[in-house]
Structure 1
Amino acid sequence: MARPVFGHGLIYVSSSFMSPVTYAIRPDGQGDVTDTHVVWSEKRGAPNTPSMLLVGDWLFEVSDRGVATCLDAKTGEIKWQERLGGGFSASPLYANGRVYFQSEEGEAVVVAAEPEFRELARNTLDERTLASYAVIDDDLLIRTDMYLYRIGQ
């Protein structure tokens, strides 16, 4: 289940496992705030499992079916949407101006953290990968079904 993200005075959540929707909600309400506090919502590309990633004014997400999306965090406008291929459970990671997406099939897709889609790299591990990345110092930790990889310089 995707965890909420907070920024720009809004809470960003994905809801409904069968038909996910990304919502940006003002957090200052009480009770049912559906009609009063939802700033924007977007159905296309919303995740079930991977959490969203807020980088400045851009909200990055990847659906369980491999559609990556960059939205304007304040308005919900889709800046780009691209099919990466494969299934996704891992949450995206931001580092050094890049967003890292890790597919369940072991393929990492690296894109620029920008409102224009620019793929920078694809790297493949020959194993299933469900876990999100972890970072230690300047290295990435990637857990697969069989191994724990530490990738650095």
Structure 2
Amino acid sequence: DPRSRDENGLAPIVWKREKMIPYVPTPIVYGGYLFDWSDEGIVNCVDLKTGKDVWVKRLSEGGKYSGSLLCIDGKIYGVEEGGTVTVIEAGPEFKELGTADLGDASYSTPAVANGRLYLRTFSRLKCLPAKKS
């Protein structure tokens, strides 16, 4: 029960992970799953209730990842330091939806606002529609 507390007012630990923890990218939660994108391009889907791996996959582009993830409409975006954006489906089965090259290095986290996706590289800020019309 997430409302239960110990004598110090702290919620109990439901589960914890000690392996496959990314150094920089922050995990993201969507649809009852936690998605963990390692610094080396390994994606891990974890069941939120149990803490157990649903799947673990290496992205086709591999690479190094410093930016955190962004989830839009069930799609997770991650930017590789060399500037490749990888999109996967946020679900219980691994599905890599595609990649795109930003043409420049990037250590940043994508952002979304007002129906637009913002991607910063070392020398540019790119703005794309978040959805195709």
Question: What range is the shorter-chain TM-score in?
Answer: 0.7 to 0.9
Normalising by structure 1, report the TM-score: 0.74
Deviation at 1:28, TM superposition (A): 3.7
Distance 1:27 1:68 in 2: 32
Secondary structure at the aligned position of 2:16 is classed as: strand
State the number of aligned residues: 127
| Aligned with 1:82 (options 40, 57, 63) | 57
Q: Is 1:55 aligned to residue 63 of structure 2?
A: no
Distance 2:21 2:86 in 1: 18
Normalising by structure 2, report the TM-score: 0.84
Distance 1:130 1:63 in 2: 14
Larger Cα-atom Rg? 2
Counterpart AA for 1:94: C
Deviation at 1:27, TM superposition (A): 8.5
Secondary structure at the aligned position of 1:39 is classed as: coil
Aligned equivalent of 1:124:
101
Root-mean-square deviation (CA, aligned residues, Å) is: 2.2
Kept in 2: contact 1:45–1:62 (CA 8 A): no
Dislocated runs of 4+, deviation >3 Å: 26-31
Q: Is 1:115 aligned to residue 92 of structure 2?
A: yes
| Aligned with 1:105 (options 78, 82, 91) | 82
- What per-residue deviation string (whole Å, max 9, x for no partner) do you get for residues 59-95 of structure 1? 0111112211110011111111111211111111111
- What per-residue deviation string (whole Å, max 9, x for no partner) do you get for residues 7-29 of structure 1? x94xxxxxxxxxxxxxxxx8944
Higher relative strand content: 1
Q: Note the residue ranges of structure 1 that are not aligned, 5 or more in a row.
A: 1-7, 10-25
Percent identical among aligned pairs is 34
Q: Which has the higher contact order (CA 8 A, sep 6+)?
A: 2
Kept in 1: contact 2:82–2:104 (CA 8 A): yes
Kept in 1: contact 2:78–2:110 (CA 8 A): no
Q: Note the residue ranges of structure 2 that are not aligned, 5 or more in a row.
A: none
